[in-house]
Homo-oligomer: A and B are copies of this chain.
Amino acid sequence: MNAPSRRKFRREGEDRRRQDLIEATLDSVAEYGLQGATLRTIALRAGVTAGLIRHYFPGKEELLQAAYAALVGRMTEQAKAALVMEGASPRRRLAAFVTANLSTPIIDARVFSLWATFIGRANADPTLAHAHREGYLGFRNEVEAVVAEVLAAEQRKPDASQLRRHAIAINALIDGLWIEGCLAGEIFAPGELAAIGIRAVEAELGLAPERGEQ
């Protein structure tokens, strides 16, 4: 009687499917962790069956690597995007950079969860460690460049090691505030983290408070 009914499906373009699978993977990892992100869970979320994954990726590991690469790419892209404010003074660009990195969408519990989950494996997986270091140094160089501009606009001539120290400290400050914002955003007033960040960065650089600030 029952004709053995097979599930209906639609064919999607290769890029679209890969993208969907990667997104489903990130969702699964964020929600259930690496151990809970099984091929069946991922496939369910992507609206396909588990077998299909192997049509697009050689194995689970490659899927996870692709997902991590996509995550890192998105994070760095967003972070750097805050720097392209043409025409603004270096100091305002720096402030906008700090603010952007301490507000949505960069302050985001899901992204933090993903970051922590993957970076926790950096010890065991040199690929992850390398990817992190590249991202970190890239980010820090951006910071260093803006810092150089800000100080130059103030007629100050820092040497390379001073610049490096400033960049390391500011980078650490932003990272630390980012973590707290992601993990416990509710215990801070809206905009509070950004305000604290800007204040601390300006103190680090020895900038006099702008008029209007107390």
Interface residues of A (CB under 8 A from B): 30-35, 109-110, 112-117, 119-124, 129, 132-133, 136, 165, 168-169, 171-177, 179-180, 183-184, 187-188, 193, 195-197, 199-200, 203-204, 206
Given contacts A33-B35, A110-B123, A116-B117, 16 further A-B contacts (CB under 8 A): A30-B123, A109-B123, A113-B120, A113-B124, A114-B120, A129-B184, A133-B183, A136-B180, A165-B196, A165-B199, A168-B196, A169-B177, A169-B196, A169-B197, A173-B200, A203-B206
Contact partners of A136 in chain B: CB under 8 A: 180, 183-184
Residues of B within 8 A of A117 (CB): 116-117, 120-121
Q: CB-CB < 8 A to A112: which residues of B?
A: 123
A208 CB to nearest B CB, Å: 12
Known: A34-B34, A35-B35, A200-B204. A173 touches B180 (CB 8 A): no
User: Is B123 a contact partner of A113 (Cβ separation < 8 A)?
Assistant: yes
Min CB distance, A165 to chain B, in Å? Answer: 5
Question: What are 23 A-B pairs at a CB distance below 8 A?
Answer: A31-B124, A33-B124, A116-B117, A116-B122, A122-B183, A133-B187, A136-B180, A136-B183, A136-B184, A165-B195, A165-B196, A168-B177, A168-B188, A169-B173, A169-B196, A171-B176, A173-B173, A175-B175, A175-B176, A176-B176, A203-B203, A203-B204, A204-B204
Could you tell me if A120 and B116 are in contact, using CB atoms closer than 8 angstroms? Answer: yes
Residues of B within 8 A of A168 (CB): 177, 180, 188, 193, 196
Which residues does chain B contribute within 8 Å of A187, judged by CB atoms? 133
What distance in Å separates the Cβ of A202 from its nearest Cβ neighbour in chain B?
9
Q: Is the CB of A120 within 8 A of B120?
A: yes
> Is the CB–CB distance between B121 and A119 below 8 Å?
no
* Nearest CB in chain B: distance from A133 CB, A: 5
